[in-house]
Homo-oligomer: A and B are copies of this chain.
Amino acid sequence: MTYSTAPVPATICGPGALGQIGREAAALSRHARVLLVADPFLETQGLLAPALAALAAEGLAVSPFTAFTGEPKSTHVAAAAQAGRAAGADLVIGIGGGSALDIAKLATACIPGAPDPMAYALAATPLPPEPLPSLLVPSTAGTGAESCATCIFSGPDGRKLWAWGQELKPRLVLLDPELTVSLPPALTAWCALDAFVHAFEASTSARSHAGAALHAHHALRLIPKALPRAIAAPEDLAAREALLLGAFHAGVAIDNCGTAIAHALSHGAAALAPVHHGLATALGFGVSLRWLVARPTPQIEAAAQACGCPCAAALPEAWEDLVARCAAPLALPEAFRAVTPEALVRAVSGPECAPMLTAHRARATPEELTGFARAMLDTAA
């Protein structure tokens, strides 16, 4: 009856945290050569310049890599690693959303190890004994990529893959709310709801344990209070900081105990047409929540209380209230109008979704699953 908790990375948290990147990077890099994987969006918005200046001020030679868009691909990681190797980098910095951070994390293995990240896909071969250290700076509050050991990327055939290892975690995470104020309201909402679902699922599945619940409940306390404030006043730095912390701790929670049915529905949908991960996850959570809380466990009750609900039965209404206070109604993109509930159920029933679909003690029947799929797809109508 033992359970394991994974290590939690160090952080610097608060407005201005990014300003410490120079000093911190200098402490982590012995030879003052850094690969910087950064979201191209940040570069065009001028949000990268202060970080580059801070790194230059410490005498660090920075090789930037921004040649990627959308979800991370193995070719992105290979190209980032090649840039890092050519520059003799001994530290990788990632600044951006989950994609930038996952490319940076996996590059820490590919620079000293296999040049092609496919070597590490689905743990095909062991990670190199000593990946490079990394320093990560999330510019969205959602994925928790900065606090977990998993890297998600797609292979040459487009299939979604993962690499995993505690060695891939960063040495330091900078949580600076100023970086996230320019995020459009819909993205703020989708990312935060994704993080909320991370925390909820990690603390209520059959794999849950007290070590993960500590972090998950913290995220569940923070996010529902902070999200409406960040939507109403995008420059509210305290709300933005709370969302970054919520996403970080939700990442710690899934790092320990994984996700569940809402993520199965989300991954199934993503396999059929392009959709933002947080949006699809929030929809998957919404359509299955009433079913889930009708089968309450002590873990679900505890999660509900962390959210500020008197009991699990009050959760669906609280969720709908939270969603209503977001920028816009949650709806699948138009492309999903052509998808049938049966097709979505088939996508959700594949082997890659099985661990998530069966994570809770309660198991959805095929009929219940079809009902969830229909409810999700109805939002696209």
Contact = CB atoms under 8 A, between A and B. Distances in A.
A13 B5 contact: yes
B6 A7 contact: no
Contact of A2 (B8, B16, B30): B16
Contacts of A218: 214
A332 B280 CA distance: 62
Contacts of A42: none
A197 B262 CA distance: 41
B6 A2 contact: no
Residue with the greatest number of chain B CB neighbours at <10 A, chosen from A5, A6, A15, A129: A5
Contact of A5 (B4, B10, B210): B10
Given A13-B211, A218-B214, A7 B8 contact: yes
A12 interface: yes
Interface residues of A, number: 28
Contacts of A340: none
How many identical chains are in the complex?
2
A17 interface: yes
A182 B125 CA distance: 45
Given A1-B15, A2-B15, A7-B9, 8 more contacts: A2-B12, A2-B14, A2-B16, A2-B20, A4-B10, A4-B12, A7-B10, A210-B245
5 contacts: A2-B20, A4-B10, A4-B11, A5-B11, A11-B211
Interface string A331-349: 0000000000000000000
A336 to B, nearest CB: 39
Give the dominant DSSP class at A's interface: mixed
Contacts of A16: 1-2
A237 to B, nearest CB: 9
A290 to B, nearest CB: 31
Nearest to A18: B2
Contact of A3 (B5, B14, B210, B211): B14
Interface of A: 1-17, 20, 30, 129, 166, 171, 210-211, 214, 218, 245, 249
Contacts of A2: 12-17, 20
A249 B1 CA distance: 20
A8 B249 CA distance: 13
Contacts of A1: 14-16
A126 to B, nearest CB: 12
A5 B171 CA distance: 12
A11 B16 CA distance: 32
A6 B13 contact: no
Contacts of A7: 7-10, 171
Residue with the greatest number of chain B CB neighbours at <10 A, chosen from A12, A13, A129, A166: A13
Contacts of A171: 7
Contacts of A13: 2-5, 211
Nearest to A176: B2
Contacts of A210: 245
Contacts of A9: 7
A166 to B, nearest CB: 7
B214 A10 contact: no
Nearest to A129: B30
Ranked 6 nearest A-B pairs via Cβ:
A2-B14, A8-B8, A7-B10, A5-B11, A2-B17, A4-B12
A381 to B, nearest CB: 43
A28 B3 CA distance: 19
